Amino acid sequence: MTEDNIKKFKSGQSINSYEFMGSHIASHKGKKGVSFMVWAPNAKRVYLSGEFNNWSVDSHPMTNLYNSGVWGIFIENLSEGEKYKYNVIGCDGVSRLKSDPYATFSELRPNTASVVYNLDGYEWSDNKWQECKSKKICDNEPMNIYEVNLGSWKRKWDGDFFSYEELYEMVYYAKDMGYTHIEIMPVTEYPLDMSWGYQTVGYYSPTSRHGKPNEFRKFVEKCHENNLGVILDFAYSHFCRDEHGLYKFDGSPQFEYSDPTKADNHGWGTAHFDLGKPEVNSFLLSNVLYWFKEFHIDGIRVDAVSSMLYLDYDGGDWKPNKYGGRENLEAIDFLKKLNETVYKYIKNPIIVAEESTAWPMVTGPTYKGALGFTYKWNMGWMNDTLKYMEMDPVYRKYHHELITFSFMYAFSENFILPLSHDEVVHGKKSLLDKMPGDTWQKFASLRLLYAYYMIHPGKKLLFMGSEFGQGLEWRYAYGLEWELLQIDPHIKMQDYVRDLNHMYKDDKALYEMDNTYEGFDFIDPHNNEQSVITIMRKGKKDKDFTIAVINFTPVVHYDYKIGVPCSGIYEEVFNSDDEKYWGSNQTMNGSELFSMNEKWHNKEHNITIKVPPLGVTFIKLKRELKDNE
């Protein structure tokens, strides 16, 4: 440990602090053992306590290195697997046994000790994936994300968790279903199951619920082997107040703000990181790179960005910033620095913001004034769409703008369309149960929702269980309702989502120009009386386009005329009402659709089609017609 490392850490410039902080297998003066280092600037004393000294709280004092507030000790003859904590005598004179903020492995809850774990020497086998990823630009690629909670995708009958290795089953499933990425709710170690991982203690420690860190590495490799990217959720906005965690680590507000109006997150009962403190910056910036470099993840989603950006976010007492505004200036600077750091050191990363307000320029490069994220969850689209879909179809014509307004701002940011875990918990009902009508109408409406979301500009995200029509809300303590896949409508819903996902991956028009108006044409947004809209998505090649006609009522429309961009023979390539998906089979049965040279919907040509009830038909150009045909 050099003084230069400590200076970088204390200046907020360290991006690899995990390489010297925490516990590490090491040699000192020819002796093998473990080095321990922890930041506790206001502590009166710090002791190492562990199995090796029968959890003595004062037998092994640590040294305040260079009077920096970083405390260190080397213990001979220790090895991997040793459990330990730090006994921190705070500035208030109180003794607290603390887990290691930089621990790379932790005991299974409810136990709270850190565990010495050697991450060195792992041989990765995903070179082919990494090479391929480095050449891809996400904007031009399909991105269809399967959001999962590892602890409740499946659960053993005795309540035990599936191991990382046993969860390979989920990887194979996601590949078969046609997803491109898996987004995992936080795997950073957390004490309380019902927090879903969003109230973290061990920011460097993959949760021991499913196994050891190298086993999680193998899980990531398995994803890459099956052409699935891995995105992890992180809660950099707040951390839990558990006694063994970061809260008042050295008896003072060390990781959190000293100002209680900024430190306390009243809504979640947690504490906010002091994002203006250099050492906290080093801790968090090193953390994000740690997961990219040490675990080969492909992206992160930063949770609750709005709670970071606004000083008055949770409605408690707050103080304006130095300019009199409500913006958290340190958080803005931190988020820009985080994104700049990732882009500097990681090739083609995915960095997603869950930002629920209209904060401008969340996505885009920081040198243009943006926050620097790759993508933002489109919460406005999600809220309007679900509000509309929950209505009885007879009333939808009076609220047509809910289903069309999102196209007015669809290219203001680089969006992901989220149908996430947040929409199927806490009394919100499952997506299937949100749909109105009888059982057939519920399933038809859900198929309709998924088809509409697939044709809409933006990348896609769907929470686990929704792909087969989970009946109950998501329950973190139980597995999904896999038994429903013995029932025909649910089997066919799963088949439908699989086919829809693969169609999306195979059709460049649906993703190749996601973030530009050049890739989109709203052929007819105005038919509110029949609650039908007609959309066209375009690829980069001329005549590569897909048209979707979307009917939000249970009425079949025969001889429905739509404008098309060129003279030709068209065909239906996908229909959500196909009987193989438990639909009413109002399809065009492979008919060739010849265009007419008559203006319609501001197009020079038109075709006449059949529009399915509570359904979507996807149409493509089969071949152009020449002048003499």
Task: Provide φ and ψ at 521, rounded to 5°.
Answer: -145, 120
Torsion angle of alpha carbons 450, 455, 456, 457, nearest 10°? 130
**408-437 burial: b if 16+ Cβ within 10 Å, else e:** eebbebbbbbbbbbbbbbeeebbbbbbbee
Distance CA 157, CA 145 (A): 28
Instruction: Estimate to the nearest angstrom the gap between the alpha carbon of 593 and the chain centroid.
Output: 41
Count CB neighbours of 179 within 10 A. Answer: 31
Helix, strand or coil for residue 72?
Answer: strand
Task: Give every CB contact of residue 292 below 8 A, 6+ residues apart in sequence.
Answer: 342, 345, 346, 349
- Select from 73, 60, 87, 62 the least CA-distant residue to 26: 73
Counting Cα atoms < 13 Å in the Cβ hemisphere of 514 gives 29
Are the beta carbons of 282 and 9 closer than 8 angstroms? yes
At 217, list the tokens: 């590495």
Beta bridge partners of 594: 569
**Alpha-carbon distances, residue 351 vs 354, 377, 531 (angstroms):** 10, 11, 36
Instruction: Please identify which of the residues 303, 330, 423, 521 carries the catalytic annotation.
Output: 303
DSSP 237: S
Nearest residue to 464 (alpha-carbon basis) of 141, 142, 199, 150: 150
Neighbours of 19 (CB within 10 A): 14
303 a catalytic residue: yes
b/e per residue, 152-169, with b = 16+ CB within 10 A?
bbbbeeeeebbbbeebbe
3-state secondary structure 317-349: CCCCCCCCCCECHHHHHHHHHHHHHHHHHCCCC
> Catalytic: which of 82, 183, 250, 354?
354
Q: DSSP character for 581?
A: G
Rounded Cα gap, residues 416 and 181, in angstroms = 13
> What's the length of the chain?
629
C-alpha of 327 from chain center = 24
Query: CA end-to-end span of the chain, whole Å?
Result: 80
Separation between Cα atoms, residue 45 and residue 38, nearest integer Å: 12
CB-CB contact of 101 with 46 (8 Å)? no
Tokens 């969860």 belong to residue: 167
Rounded to the nearest 10 degrees, how much is the dihedral formed by the CA atoms of 499, 502, 504, 508? Answer: -140
Residue type, 257: Y
Q: Which of 579, 585, 574 is nearest to 616 (CA)?
A: 574
Provide the angle, in degrees to the nearest 10, between the axes of the packed helices 213-225 and 168-176.
Answer: 20
518 catalytic per annotation: no
Which residues are the active-site residues? 303, 354
